[in-house]
Amino acid sequence: MDGLKRFLDTFFDLPLIGSTLAQLLTEGLLNTLLLAVLASLIGLVVGILVAAGLMSRLRVVRLPCRVYVDILRGLPHILTVYLIGQGLPLAGLTIFGTWTYGYAGLAIGLMEGAYMAEIFRSGFQSVDSGIVEAARSLGLSHLRTLRLIVVPIGVRRILPALTGQFILVVKSTALVYLLGLAAGQREMFALAQDSAVNNASLAPLVAAGLLYLAITVPLTYVVNAWDRRMREPQSPRRKIRPVRTAEALA
């Protein structure tokens, strides 16, 4: 019985979970979503630019983009957060001043940009070459073909994958606590970690896990349903009956 009570007190202290959830909802959730949106926007911009570079015919453009993708996808996330989030201010590159979220968003955004670049590249290259050739035959330039044909079709096909990547961004925000956050800036994991240390219990971390699951699990099912819908062949359109004219009725 003592072992069971100790286990429950360590992981499932209900009063502590309740108080932690209240703090997470009032402060941590907003900061987590803010950071996730900031990192996603950075990742989208970087991903599109790098994807364009990966598809370039010029080796001098394509090679640096490939190196960037391989390095950022190969490094552990925790190492990238340290190198960018702490390294830039230490090197005197205080582009965000003392705003920790700026460095954290940049670190996560650059990481996600490498993954999004491959997603964008696969989407753009999935566009039927016949459509591209038809557009070029109509006199559209290469850039206008990309802007009007390739990008709209490609982005539509990868929307489920991009939404799924946003889920990974939300989970990656837990690494921000490594940079040290001021009061009012702490995201969900940082708040739960501080509460866990102060109360000598892991129940606050369980509370944070429940809130992360409440965000990510529904999004996962939405993405899966969306992806299945995108992959299903569209039902044939209902045939339109011709309107019978007065002569035909006579």
User: CA-CA distance, 31 to 186, in Å (whole number)?
Assistant: 7
Least confident residue range of 115-124, 185-194, 207-216: 185-194
Is 47 in contact with 112 (CB distance < 8 Å)?
Answer: yes
How does residue 242 score in pLDDT terms, banded at 50, 70 and 90? very low
Higher per-residue confidence, 100 vs 61: 61
* Encoded tokens for 12: 């499932």
- Boundaries of every domain in the chain: 2-232
Q: 249: pLDDT confidence band, cut at 50, 70 and 90?
A: very low
Please state which of the ranges 57-71, 136-150, 156-170 shows the lowest mean pLDDT: 136-150
pLDDT of 121 strictly over 80: yes
Angle of CA points 197, 210, 105, to nearest 5°: 75
Residue 153 pLDDT > 60 = yes
Give the pTM.
Answer: 0.80
Residue 107 pLDDT greater than 80, yes or no: yes
Confidence (pLDDT) at 39 = 92
DSSP annotation of 239 reads P
Is residue 57 scored above 80 in pLDDT? yes
CB atoms within 10 A of CB 41: 12
Give the pLDDT confidence of 8-56 residue by residue, as tens digits: 777 888 888 888 888 888 888 888 888 899 999 999 999 989 998 998 8
- Token code pair at residue 73: 């996808």
What is the mean pLDDT of the segment spanning 225-229? 77
The amino acid occupying position 49 is L
Percent of the chain with pLDDT over 70: 89
Average pLDDT in the chain: 82
2-232 placed in CATH 1.10.1200.10: no
Q: Is the pLDDT of residue 182 over 70?
A: no
CB-based contacts of 24, cutoff 8 Å, min separation 6: 188, 191, 192, 207, 208, 211
The pLDDT score that the predictor gives to residue 46 is 94
Q: How far is CA 175 from CA 24, 89, 133, 206, 211, in A?
A: 16, 17, 46, 17, 16
pLDDT digits (tens, 9 = 90+) for 198-213: 888 899 999 999 999 9
Q: Which of 53-67, 78-92, 127-141, 224-238 has the lowest mean pLDDT?
A: 224-238
